A and B are shown apart, each in its own frame.
Chain A
């Protein structure tokens, strides 16, 4: 079981989806309407570039000290889904853009 969980944690970066209510999105809208929320999840171990290795090395030699840098690729949306519209609890329509991921990648 632990093995299964470990393997799940190390899945490569990919698009996943979840049914959530609009209220759960935390954007301040009050609505019971359900939307499909697609997000990016997974590791980027195989996408490490020479950039990441070099940055890590330079940082460890304390050549970069005060700045915030990230020396590993990150699983993020490459593009976003179309707009999502819904009716809220007060019968007003709203449209939200860039809510859901369309394509994921290690950047």
Chain B
């Protein structure tokens, strides 16, 4: 029973991923693509969680937190590049 539910949710998450890939390819502006990438990271977190339940292992729990942190840092770096033109500044008071 629980296995069927997990498989169905995995299919739904994969469908959501396809929608995000459509926005990533089609997106008219760069911020559209960045938001799509960030949502793909969150989606990947849920896919990993469902998969770790399906495989009945707790070894993927570190991966979930890792993907969350990396998606946050990546999105922030992209946002700063779009806003200021450079990712890491030497002196922000200049």
User: Is the pairing of A and B real?
Assistant: no
